[in-house]
Amino acid sequence: MEQFIREVSERIQPVHLEAGRAAQLHLDQLTKPPGSLGMLENLAVQLACITGEVKSVIHRKTVIVMAADHGVCAEGVSAFPQEVTQQMLLNMLSGGAAINVLSRQAGADVLCVDIGVKGNMDHPELLNHKIRQGTGNMAREQAMTREQAVQAIVTGMNIAIEAADRGSQLFVTGEMGIGNTTASSAMLCALTGLSPEEVTGRGTGLTDSELKHKAAVIREALALHQPDGQDTIDVLIKVGGLEIAGLVGVILGAASQGCPVVLDGFISAVAAVAAYTMAPQVKGYLIGSHMSAEKGHRLALAKLGIRPLLQLDMRLGEGTGGVMVLHMIDAVSHLMNEMATFSSARVSDSSGNISL
């Protein structure tokens, strides 16, 4: 399976810079001052780079929500009990979660994947790819085996590739897993060399003393396992999460199919850092949706050199922040395809000329 990961990663092509330049030229010909649409113009150029089309239109969007549990919850690092993971996944499958409401409004499909939830579930809409019943407690043992980490990445790759084969053109990364900000913080420390105190946030709403304890648990786990920050799989094995590994696979798999990947919040950004460590060429396919209230999110995006489009103080996860950007992507498509140029509207440009 590790060979499959390498093969998929090697399929990720450089983005189409010429299409991006052509998109910028088109933007500059539209009836507006150059650059006046701000980051919408940056988004239009990036979409052109990814799709190879100056006036790209995204018809089919898919949110992939990876769900799994974390053994480190036994250390008291979350304000919510572990059983909430399964309960919220069932809520998503019933269409009642925030991600369902926002995705319906944005015209996106939602795929819910059990890749490591503690307990067994049976639902016709669930993609059951359970690898194990939650991770091991990283404070006491490794989170997972190498085989399990590899299997989780491959699972994410296959789900994204199969969805692209069915017509999906763009993916939003989502997740559900009580305790996953702890795993993500530990992973980001390992991948960047940052300290737990710099990275660790309040997650589901920890008090000051609980936050201090959470950072201490992460520090102890890193000292115990000594993950190799140059080896994504080693980091996942020692302090990662199954849903995070699954998202690494989704990101790499989607990029291998030439599809844009809209990153949600902190957990998704850490998965992107991990994917980037494995395949740096993936970066061009990543769209930062928003800056969450989780403080490690800014650091993860900085590692990737990504500027997010929105600042909404969200920290829910599920893919909710990512879905908000789908409206912007639709708007950009309409602007590129429907807005008049100076010549077509016979409007003078900044030099007083009308192009004929």
Report DSSP letters for 145-193, one per residue.
-HHHHHHHHHHHHHHHHHHHHTT--EEEEEEE-TTHHHHHHHHHHHHH-
Q: What is the pLDDT of residue 356?
A: 47
Residue of 225, 227, 115, 224 lying closest to 180 (CA atoms): 115
Residues 199, 185 contacting (CB under 8 angstroms): yes
Q: What is the pLDDT of residue 354?
A: 56
Tokens representing 106 are 């944005």
Handedness of CA 179, 182, 186, 192 (dihedral sign): positive
Q: Which domains does the chain possess?
A: 2-55+336-345 (1.10.1610.10), 61-328 (3.40.50.10210)
Q: What is the pLDDT of residue 276?
A: 99
Average pLDDT in the 167-184 region? 98
Provide the mean pLDDT of the chain: 96
Active-site annotation, residues: 318
At residue 97, does pLDDT exceed 90? yes
Q: pLDDT tens for residues 30-81?
A: 999 999 999 999 999 999 999 999 999 999 999 999 999 999 999 999 989 9
Residue of 161, 131, 139, 127 lying closest to 5 (CA atoms): 161
Residues 221, 138 contacting (CB under 8 angstroms): yes
Residues 156, 253 contacting (CB under 8 angstroms): yes
How far from 174 is each of 33, 64, 100, 111, 265, CA to CA, in Å? 37, 6, 11, 9, 8
At residue 345, does pLDDT exceed 80? no
Q: pLDDT tens for residues 288-319?
A: 999 998 999 999 999 999 999 999 999 999 99
How far from 275 is each of 69, 230, 232, 272, 285, CA to CA, in Å? 21, 11, 8, 5, 11
How far from 166 is each of 47, 156, 355, CA to CA, in Å? 20, 16, 43
pTM, to two decimals: 0.96
Q: How far is it, in rounded angstroms, from Cα 26 to Cα 270? A: 34
Q: How far is it, in rounded angstroms, from Cα 282 to Cα 261? A: 10
Residue of 125, 56, 60, 128 lying closest to 94 (CA atoms): 125
Q: pLDDT tens for residues 111-122?
A: 999 999 999 999
Q: What is the pLDDT of residue 205?
A: 84
Residues 36, 146 contacting (CB under 8 angstroms): no
Identify the band that residue 350 occupies on the pLDDT scale cut at 50, 70 and 90. low
At residue 250, does pLDDT exceed 80? yes
Identify the band that residue 348 occupies on the pLDDT scale cut at 50, 70 and 90. low
Average pLDDT in the 212-231 region? 98
At residue 9, does pLDDT exceed 80? yes
Q: What is the pLDDT of residue 344?
A: 82
Average pLDDT in the 89-99 region? 98
